[in-house]
Amino acid sequence: MNLIPAQVFGRGGSHAVFLAAAAMLFSGCTTPIRVPISSDSRTQLGAVNGIVGLRQQEIGTSINRSNVSAATGGGLIAAIVDMSVDNARAKKAESAVTSVRDALVNYQPGNVLAGDLQKALASVPGVNPSHVDVRQIIDPKTTGAWIQGSGGASVLLVTLDYKLSPNFDSIIVSAEVSLHPGGDRLGKIAQTKSDLPPLVYYNVLSCTGSLPGLTGQQTPDGMARLWAANGGQPARMVLDAGLQELAAMIAYDLTAPAPPEGEAYKAPDGAEKRLATVYGTMDTTFQGYIEHKADGWIWVRLPAGQLSAVAQ
């Protein structure tokens, strides 16, 4: 903080204090999000129940947010313009997605992921659920209630989200995964994260798939027609592949070790770097490093530990 002389920012140095607080607030961007689990802890979990939770009932849409405020330096008028543009884009996306939703009206991504997880986790010692349920997340208390009501068993909770990219040129499946020890097991090492019950593993994983050979020249309406063709067969194919890859990533990440102390998810020497997006309330792109390449997919480890897969 010596770089900020007090006389520049006022006598009391209150602005310097404010800046320091702001710096502390934003330093959270590099704080690891991933909570890794050790092999020792895994073997102490006992019986594990798997739950795939869904907040949505159909494939979601997303938009490229208008940036007039940022470009013009802010202000009320610019904010109103941004909101108006975002609203128009969202309405257009919700209209264009109708044919894809109609084609996928009987598609159950939760069941597909549950089946894939069961297969992928069969090879993970300690985390091999006897069954994986699919449930609707009703409100913020729902998942906590499921974990409390697991009857002493540990719970692997996978909150699934799936949506089309803003240009409709790819389908993104993402999951917030947490592992909650049952009973009093591992109580000493369990951590708390947001409003979830104590957990011993946590991460956010995503997988972006697109139609092979796509040039990206189509409009969202044109892309929607492509996804919905033949009763939604292209959309189902990409969703199936994405969910299978997501299950494989979850199984892998549950066994991937923690990074060395003080080197949180730093790219190893010689590792190939690549940009990848973290999907959530606000989609954000970071530079990570390639951790795994196989079967046409590249897995990118991001600075906070999230794992993001893109088709090669």
Partner 1 sequence: MDLGPTARGPTLSGCTMRGRMARKCMVRLFALGGLALVFSGCNTPETTRLDFTTPAGVQGTPVAPSKSSLRVAWLAVEDQRLDATSLGHIGSRAYVAKSFLPWLDQQLRAVKGTNFAEAGDPARADLVIKPILLKLYIQNIEVTKSAVVVLRLEFSSHGKSSGQLTCRGQYAGMNWWGSDEEMAGAIQEAFTDCLRNISASLELNIKLQHITGTASGANEGLGLN
Give the three-state DSSP class for 293. Answer: strand
The answer to whether 105 contacts partner 1 (rule: CB under 8 A) is: yes
Q: How far is the CB of 134 from partner 1 (least distance, A)?
A: 7
Check: CB of residue 196 under 8 Å from CB of residue 180: yes
Part of the chain binding partner 1 (CB under 8 A), chosen from 13-21, 170-178, 259-267, 304-312: 13-21
Check: CB of residue 190 under 8 Å from CB of residue 200: yes
For 250, phi then psi, to 5°, come to -65, -45
The answer to whether 283 contacts partner 1 (rule: CB under 8 A) is: no
The answer to whether 87 contacts partner 1 (rule: CB under 8 A) is: yes
The answer to whether 292 contacts partner 1 (rule: CB under 8 A) is: no
Q: How far is the CB of 11 from partner 1 (least distance, A)?
A: 9
Selected from 41, 49, 61, 244, the binder of partner 1 by CB under 8 A is 61
Check: CB of residue 279 under 8 Å from CB of residue 172: yes
The answer to whether 65 contacts partner 1 (rule: CB under 8 A) is: yes
The answer to whether 184 contacts partner 1 (rule: CB under 8 A) is: no
Selected from 36, 50, 110, 126, the binder of partner 1 by CB under 8 A is 110
Part of the chain binding partner 1 (CB under 8 A), chosen from 11-19, 176-184, 201-209, 219-227: 11-19
Comparing CB distances to partner 1, the nearer of 17 and 226 is 17
Part of the chain binding partner 1 (CB under 8 A), chosen from 50-58, 170-178, 242-250, 268-276: 50-58
Q: How many other CB atoms are found less than 10 A from the CB of residue 149?
A: 8
The residue to which tokens 């998810």 are assigned: 265
Selected from 25, 28, 123, 195, the binder of partner 1 by CB under 8 A is 195
Q: How far is the CB of 189 from partner 1 (least distance, A)?
A: 27
Residues facing residue 276 across a β-bridge: 286
Q: How far is the CB of 227 from partner 1 (least distance, A)?
A: 16
Of 60, 51, 267, the C-alpha closest to 176 is: 51
CA distances from residue 165 to 85, 91, 202, 210, 277 in whole angstroms, order as listed: 17, 15, 25, 10, 11
Distance (Å, whole) CA 301 – CA 292? 9
Instruction: Kindly state the tokens that stand for 62.
Output: 């997303």
Q: How far is CA 272 from the centre of its chain?
A: 22
Part of the chain binding partner 1 (CB under 8 A), chosen from 118-126, 130-138, 252-260, 286-294: 130-138
The residue to which tokens 């897995």 are assigned: 299
Q: How far is CA 221 from the centre of its chain?
A: 26
The site for partner 1 (CB under 8 A) is made up of 12, 14-15, 17-18, 54-58, 60-63, 65, 83, 86-87, 90-91, 93-95, 98, 101-102, 105, 110, 134-141, 195
